[in-house]
Structure 1
Amino acid sequence: MEREYSRWRLRPEERRTILVIGDFIVALLALVIALVAWGQRDWLDFSQLLMQRIPRWFFLLPLGWLLLNIEMYDIRRAGRKDETVKGILIAAGVGLMLYLFVFFFSTPGDMPRVGVAVYIAAVTLLTLGWRFLYIRVFTAPEFLRRVLIVGAGVAGTTLANVVNSIRPQPFQIIGFIDDDPEKVGTEIAGLPVIGDSSRLLELIEKYQITDLIFAISGDLRPETFRVLVDAQERGVQITTMISAYERLLGRVPIFLLPTEWILRSFVDYAHTDSFYEMSKRILDILGGLVGTLITLVLYPFIALAIWLDSGSPVVFTQTRVGKNGKEYTIYKFRTMRQDAEKDGKARVTVENDERITRVGKILRKSHLDELPQFINVLRGEMSLVGPRAERLELVQSLQKKVPFYRARLLVKPGITGWAQVNFGYAATVEDTAIKLEYDLYYIMHRNLLLDLLILLRTVGTVVGFKGQ
């Protein structure tokens, strides 16, 4: 039974629901404003406008706006003003470009310019206003969950450091609980160790705790287990450190996992049902056909730019490692000099890589160099969404340095992926480890909704020229 003081302390899913409802309300209000402005321009009253002029698709604009803003339902991003402004402006820009694309290929007079223009302007301003109100109100301490971390060891300390690095903070960490008497009364990661498990229920009431995060990696004492069960029966939500880490960062903490985890837990999570696999393949075929058509249309222009800048070849081929370690040939537009690896040694791309040509920089920033990979998607060697495909030499090297690295080969590589939209390119072993955490999170949680979210976020990455 939930206690009085925790009633207004919002969980992440409750915050996301508030964001969706608020966005939908302002999107409907923007629709009304657009209809009124449209009617006044054409000297029609509201009823005449609804009866005579409005195409049915116009009333779907609020749903389209929610889809364009799907990236902004990440609670971490939604709590920051700079990310909010950037995300909403990108959504407005993508919406405008989609409308213009349809407008120029539609029958003259079919697409209402005034109504759509007013709608985009109104929904952008209203959403910005609502999101600023959300940040001002719902990120205040009064709405944050109050958390104790059970265990002040490496796992608990890592989680505390992660939370301390996030702005605004997703919840308030009041301190640690630990049964080591030498730790009680000290500070770890800037937070106090306020007691041991024997005082847990007392401390929950004293500090109005709503959540416990369990971060003990060793054996659990029976007394600690009993008090945790008592706390849960009193309405306290208990989460493991791994689940909290995943929820906060969208990553799996590979350096805090036992070696047997890959067989005991991950392999089971990695399995998906046949409906998802069939649906994903259908999506890959449809996306592959559209992507190949776009590639054919743009090929003459991109090929000419590459040839004028650095000669031939225009298309670059390379052997990459796919699902279950099977090798295949990948196709991309060439973005580096012909002698980029004249010594034959595989190298990862780094920031401001001097091997990249002038045209190659543009192609990488816009991700246009990836277009020929749609052929690999149609052939079934790749998917639209999945981990980044790597060369065999790099896989053999990195699996010796990064735990569980080869686990990413359990699924097909993708043109885009959860790691790509969240992190970008990896230039060091440390960066590779972070990307692997994202890849393993995707493999464990993948479904059609997550795939669609990644594809929509990829559009934002392309529009924002965030490639490297």
Structure 2
Amino acid sequence: MNTISRPKRWQMRTSERVAILIIGDFLVAALALFFALYIWAAGDAWMKFSLEFIIDRPPLWYFLLPFMWIILLVELYDIHRASNHRETFKGIGLATLIFTLIYLLLYFTSAPNSLPRRGVSVFIFLAAVFTLVWRLIYIRMFTAPHLLRRVLIIGAGNAGQTLIDVIADLWPPPFFTVGLVDDDPKKLGAEIGKYSVLGNSHQLLDLINEKQVTDLILAISGEIKGSMFQAILSAQEMGINLSPMPQVYEELLSRVPIFLLESEWIVRSFVEKTHTSTFYHLSKSLLDFTGGLVGSLIMTIFFPFISLAILLESGFPIFFSQERLGRGGQPFKIFKFRTMERDAERDGFARMAEENDQRVTKVGRFLRKTHLDELPQFINVLRGEMSMVGPRAERPEMVVNFQKEIPFYRARLLVKPGITGWAQINYGYAGTVKETAIKLEYDLYYIEHRSLLMDISIILRTIGTVLGFKGQ
């Protein structure tokens, strides 16, 4: 009988790494809070650092600062960003900037001496420094090769090759890929990317034992032979983890692999997962109403300046409206500040926006970079036609064209379109059908996994995108 090594305790899953990051961030933020209180008390003329000071001086909300800090670090809970030095510096820097701007806004709009200046500023500084040190330690320790799970891919067909391509584009690698197995004799010994097809179902258990495999990824989209099925069951009985390829694809890319799914998936799996709770619907409605009001107020503040700039460069109209499809395919008029020259589609032919589009005016290019052109969409949110978070609202003629070439395209109409969304913050604009398909994968992932926490994290990441002038 074959003996198989069970997965080693120190070989960590993605969820375990995320948990370690959250716990570590919370601990260093709590440490920053403690030192901030100590420094605050050292400069206090009335009371030195003591239990009495902690109880009497800081307001209750002050002790929530570590939680606010963790929320602002949301981008760095992507395991690939967390393992990258550059992304770590950028993420912590952006969180510090947003935290500082929010506090300054509150500080200068509040009554004099009503908010603690020293206590908050010291916390922000120490939280940034301590988190940076901790994250660099994490990169050094927890991304070491011996902590990676050892994976064997079952299936060297289209799904297996797609997964290999995904792994090749990720750095650091999500796991150590041992190779592939397949029952097709023509594929035995073949090279797929940097990896080899090592054997078939009859050799699977021996390969697991020999290569110290901890996980199997099932990348067979068609029928599984009886011998392969039995070998997989035997491996599972011995403690080897088994994951379907679409699940791994989603975990690695936060996208749904639309070109690898069967047609019944949209009913059997996707629609079942899209049901959300009454609490989510109520909280999302409240988020949309609040966001719509705040956004409309911001639009009112910027309106005179944006209007004047558009008028001076290209005249009227200031606003641009266009028919888009909402939830269930219902048409509505979307509003934006005009960023293109007048009669940009004078021939009547609908075109996708392109990178460095020549139809965009100079003012329009700035408005797109800062996303200020989208401020009038908050009117659509208040009217209930759009949401704060959701897929991008698309034109009816574009939907007709895309659904002919991209599977499941109309599934994005299951929810309201949004001012921002999972696809927008992860991929930006799409200028080709291929890029549109990738954005659809992000949209379907959002629809499948959406929650109040995810919506809030998307809004926070959008703020970072706006401050970073990442629009197009």
SS at match of 2:187: coil
* Residue among 15, 27, 36 paired with 2:29: 27
Alignment-derived partner of residue 126 in structure 1:
130
Residue correspondence of structure 1 range 158-197 to structure 2 within 5 A: 158-197=162-201
Residue correspondence of structure 1 range 373-392 to structure 2 within 5 A: 373-392=377-396
1:36 maps onto 2:53 in alignment: no
Alignment-derived partner of residue 428 in structure 2:
424
- The worse-fitting range, judged by mean Cα deviation, of 77-86 and 116-125 is 116-125
SS at match of 1:126: helix
The CA deviation string for residues 293-325 of structure 1, in whole angstroms up to 9 with x for no partner, is 222222222222222232221111111111111
Cα deviation, residue 238, structure 1: 0.6
SS at match of 2:185: coil
Cα deviation, residue 51, structure 1: 4.7
Q: d(CA) in 2 for partners of 1:55 and 1:410?
A: 44
The CA deviation string for residues 165-210 of structure 1, in whole angstroms up to 9 with x for no partner, is 1000111110001112222223212102111111222221211111
SS at match of 2:197: strand
Cα deviation, residue 386, structure 1: 0.8
Q: d(CA) in 1 for partners of 2:216 and 2:290?
A: 45
Cα deviation, residue 250, structure 1: 0.7
Q: Look up the equivalent residue of 2:48 and give its one-letter code.
A: D
The CA deviation string for residues 364-391 of structure 1, in whole angstroms up to 9 with x for no partner, is 1111111111111111111111110011
Cα deviation, residue 53, structure 1: 2.8
5+ residue gaps, structure 2: none
SS at match of 1:450: helix
Q: d(CA) in 2 for partners of 1:185 and 1:4?
A: 27
1:398 maps onto 2:406 in alignment: no
Given the superposition, is the C-alpha separation of residues 51 and 397 from structure 1 closer, same or farther in structure 2, using an over 3 Å criterion? closer
Residue correspondence of structure 1 range 140-155 to structure 2 within 5 A: 140-155=144-159
Q: d(CA) in 1 for partners of 2:116 and 2:313?
A: 42
5+ residue gaps, structure 1: none
Given the superposition, is the C-alpha separation of residues 3 and 282 from structure 1 closer, same or farther in structure 2, using an over 3 Å criterion? farther
Alignment-derived partner of residue 12 in structure 1:
14
- The worse-fitting range, judged by mean Cα deviation, of 255-264 and 121-130 is 255-264
Q: RMSD in angstroms over aligned alpha carbons?
A: 1.6
Given the superposition, is the C-alpha separation of residues 280 and 5 from structure 1 closer, same or farther in structure 2, using an over 3 Å criterion? closer
1:214 maps onto 2:231 in alignment: no
The CA deviation string for residues 381-413 of structure 1, in whole angstroms up to 9 with x for no partner, is 111111100111111112222222122112111
1:316 maps onto 2:320 in alignment: yes
Q: Look up the equivalent residue of 2:49 and give its one-letter code.
A: F
Alignment-derived partner of residue 49 in structure 2:
46
Alignment-derived partner of residue 254 in structure 2:
250
Q: Is the 8 A contact 2:13 2:149 kept in 1?
A: yes
1:114 maps onto 2:103 in alignment: no
- The worse-fitting range, judged by mean Cα deviation, of 45-54 and 364-373 is 45-54
1:261 maps onto 2:273 in alignment: no
Q: d(CA) in 1 for partners of 2:135 and 2:213?
A: 28
SS at match of 1:394: helix
Q: d(CA) in 2 for partners of 1:34 and 1:276?
A: 36
- The worse-fitting range, judged by mean Cα deviation, of 132-141 and 289-298 is 289-298
Q: d(CA) in 1 for partners of 2:325 and 2:169?
A: 35
- The worse-fitting range, judged by mean Cα deviation, of 237-246 and 251-260 is 251-260
- The worse-fitting range, judged by mean Cα deviation, of 224-233 and 234-243 is 224-233
The CA deviation string for residues 54-91 of structure 1, in whole angstroms up to 9 with x for no partner, is 22222211111001111211111111111111111000
SS at match of 1:299: helix
SS at match of 2:352: coil
Cα deviation, residue 5, structure 1: 5.3
Alignment-derived partner of residue 85 in structure 1:
89
The CA deviation string for residues 221-268 of structure 1, in whole angstroms up to 9 with x for no partner, is 122112212211211111000000011001111112223333333333
- The worse-fitting range, judged by mean Cα deviation, of 271-280 and 142-151 is 271-280
SS at match of 1:399: helix
Q: Look up the equivalent residue of 1:267 and give its one-letter code.
A: V
Q: Look up the equivalent residue of 1:170 and give its one-letter code.
A: P
Instruction: Please report the TM-score for the alignment, with normalisation by the length of structure 1.
Output: 0.96
Cα deviation, residue 3, structure 1: 5.7
Q: d(CA) in 2 for partners of 1:297 and 1:315?
A: 16
Cα deviation, residue 104, structure 1: 0.6
Q: d(CA) in 1 for partners of 2:284 and 2:33?
A: 34
Q: Look up the equivalent residue of 2:388 and give its one-letter code.
A: L
Q: d(CA) in 2 for partners of 1:385 and 1:160?
A: 32
Q: d(CA) in 2 for partners of 1:431 and 1:288?
A: 29
Q: Is the 8 A contact 2:36 2:122 kept in 1?
A: yes
Alignment-derived partner of residue 342 in structure 2:
338
Cα deviation, residue 52, structure 1: 4.4
1:437 maps onto 2:441 in alignment: yes
Alignment-derived partner of residue 228 in structure 1:
232
Q: d(CA) in 2 for partners of 1:52 and 1:385?
A: 40
Q: d(CA) in 2 for partners of 1:46 and 1:420?
A: 47
Cα deviation, residue 163, structure 1: 0.7
Identity in percent: 57
Cα deviation, residue 4, structure 1: 6.0
Q: d(CA) in 2 for partners of 1:381 and 1:92?
A: 34
Q: d(CA) in 2 for partners of 1:405 and 1:217?
A: 21
- The worse-fitting range, judged by mean Cα deviation, of 42-51 and 288-297 is 42-51
SS at match of 1:6: coil
Q: d(CA) in 2 for partners of 1:344 and 1:59?
A: 58
Instruction: Please report the TM-score for the alignment, with normalisation by the length of structure 2.
Output: 0.95
Q: Look up the equivalent residue of 2:328 and give its one-letter code.
A: N
Q: d(CA) in 1 for partners of 2:216 and 2:450?
A: 27
Aligned length: 467
SS at match of 1:24: helix
1:411 maps onto 2:427 in alignment: no
Q: d(CA) in 2 for partners of 1:372 and 1:25?
A: 41
Q: Look up the equivalent residue of 1:54 and give its one-letter code.
A: P
Q: d(CA) in 1 for partners of 2:74 and 2:383?
A: 30
